Chains A and B, each alone.
Chain A
Amino acid sequence: MPIGAVIEFSNITKRFGQTTAVNDLSFTVEPGRVTGFLGPNGAGKTTTLRMLLGLVTPTSGTATFGGLRYRDLPRPLDTVGAALEAASFHPGRTASNHLGVYTLAAGLPRTRVAEVLQLVGLAEHADQRVGGYSLGMRQRLGLAYSLLGDPGVLVLDEPINGLDPEGIKWIRGFLSSMAAEGRTVLVSSHLLSEVQQSVDDVIIIAKGELVHSGPLSSLDTNVAPQVIVDSPTRETLIAALTDAGLAFTSGRTGLIVAVPDPGQVGHIAFAAGVELSVLHRQKAGLEDSFLALVEGGDSL
């Protein structure tokens, strides 16, 4: 079983002329977990991943796999599998021949081609020219390329883009199983909701800078929870809350009270003899925390 290596970015910076695309980014990605690499479009995700893979030369800093830069890996495709956003295919080449070229380059057995095409569900389209592929099929072919060397590290740039719901479900399961086998899985996305169900850790960048890193659950604590409450006689509830001195706002499904404890609100209602139809705690969605972090980056 391939063993995942730790990916380490240290103080990596990329400037294109006057623009700084990535600024002094440092973080690590651990094996055995799916790590979401998140940020809005243009945040520098792709540039960061391309620096990791030796395709873009950093202005300063390093990115390594178990201490080795990509270009110094003795057998790169056996160590790291990468699928980048751009559709990198010659349209006149069949999927099978496309992958065959790179098994030759990497010294892998040609039998891997059929195996990875089977794995991503493209077996029956193996001898079709890639020019006729749909976006979803191209995504799968990109993924097939990344799996050629059965690598311990997977680096996937926006792998969910263009997949149909069935494909999305499939890739979520796939990523989790890869991580469960002890591989390092780094997946970028501009939408948290897209990867939320499959990632264990998140790295969030905005404007080329790190704004948050940690387990997915760490996003929870960033925005205070609220209580949603409603009553068939909303006026009496409003009066009760006002008497108790609690701040609230009117929402679509009831009143939003800025306290963390539903019990406290329930007690006030009970004491005032107000019948309740709704009472629950609402966590601010992870997406809200994510957006707050990312937009916080704007004000920097």
Chain B
Amino acid sequence: MNLILRPVAAEFAKILSTRMWWILALVLFGYIALLAGGLSALFGGVESGAISPDSMNSGGGAGLSTLGSLPPLIYSFAASVGYVFPVLLGALATTGEFRHQTLTPTFLATPRRDRVLGAKTIALFVVGAVLGLVGLAASVGVGALVFNGFGIDPLLADGETWALIGRTVLAMALWAVIGVGLGVLVPSQVASIVIVLAFTQFIEPLLRFASTFTEVTADIGKFLPGAASDALVGASFFTLASPGGSVLEPWQGGLVLLAYGLLATGFGYLISWKRDVT
């Protein structure tokens, strides 16, 4: 048992002994709090009549009620917007080992490299879940406060809300695992970061949008990682904004995300992790 617990403990210590994790957590919190606070105030204002629907260009409040219940939408920002943070942390944790040549002391202390990568995956899964909690503290904390202010039920007594919170934590944890996979697949730190940012902020949203044009592509598009993540969480602005898109069941979304993470890590193990450390 020690054979896997020890490297896991070491991987946790690696993450916690540099500043990256709390810088990312802080930025995640601020970003989601701003977004959740701003949008819940806007929607809450419209819904409660404090803001006149006419002042919005989008055709008014009638459209908003078709978006379904507001709180889950706002709460889901933690993952649907915040998922880039655990991916980054996972990718940095892996690529940092290549960049700073810490693979040498790591593999000297634990010569079984598969155990090291497994330990890293476990540690990042947990830290990703913690980032999920941070994101939720922002989206649920700030969102519920604002909804309360507008007299809208924040649905915190609703079991479905708590299920969504649980699925969000799981999604964030899985994203961190995907980050680890990306890091071993693309060990260059700069390349990895560019891929994360370009893919999550630009390429995937475009692909998801484009895939909704035909039924065939929509069936493929729902397997994109971001779409799978939204399916797992069960609510997202993106899904609601393109109602034509087909969506996976939450458990399917979770499995698809897990598959991305494990496939990337598995191929990365063969491509870079097992190679000579020179």
Interface residues, chain A, CB within 8 Å of chain B?
46-47, 50, 53-57, 70-71, 73, 76-77, 80, 82, 84, 86-94, 97-98, 100-102, 104-107, 145
Contact = CB atoms under 8 A, between A and B. Distances in A.
Nearest to B16: A97
Contacts of B60: none
Contacts of A102: 10, 105-106, 108-109
A126 B263 CA distance: 40
A117 to B, nearest CB: 15
A91 B9 CA distance: 20
A102 B9 CA distance: 10
A73 B104 contact: no
A91 B18 CA distance: 9
B18 A90 contact: yes
B163 interface: no
B106 A55 contact: no
Interface stretch (B66-74, B95-103, B143-151, B222-230): B95-103
B104 A107 contact: no
A292 B106 CA distance: 39
A92 B19 contact: yes
A104 B276 contact: no
A233 B3 CA distance: 79
Contact of A88 (B10, B17, B104): B104
Contacts of A88: 100-105
Interface string B248-278: 0000000000000000000000000000111
Given A47-B278, A90-B96, A92-B18, A101 B111 contact: no
Contacts of B20: 92
A101 B14 contact: yes
Given A55-B107, A106-B109, A50 B6 contact: no
Contacts, number: 85
B2 interface: yes
A53 B9 contact: no
Chain B, interface residues (CB within 8 Å), range: 20 to 34
Contacts of A57: 276
B7 A86 contact: no
Contact of B105 (A54, A73, A145): A145
Given A88-B104, A105-B109, 6 more contacts: A50-B277, A82-B108, A90-B18, A101-B10, A105-B7, A105-B9
What is the predominant secondary structure among interface residues of chain B facing chain A?
helix
Contact of B278 (A50, A71, A94, A98): A50
Contact of A93 (B10, B17, B107): B17
B223 to A, nearest CB: 36
B100 A91 contact: yes
A228 B276 CA distance: 52
B167 to A, nearest CB: 32
B101 A76 contact: no
10 contacts: A50-B277, A50-B278, A84-B104, A88-B105, A93-B18, A100-B17, A102-B108, A105-B106, A106-B6, A106-B109
Contacts of B277: 50, 55-56
Nearest to A82: B108
Contacts of B96: 90
B110 interface: yes
Contact of A97 (B6, B17, B104): B17
A56 B278 contact: yes
A295 to B, nearest CB: 26
Closest 9 CB pairs of A and B: A105-B10, A97-B17, A105-B109, A71-B111, A56-B276, A55-B277, A104-B10, A88-B101, A104-B9
Contacts of B14: 90, 93, 101
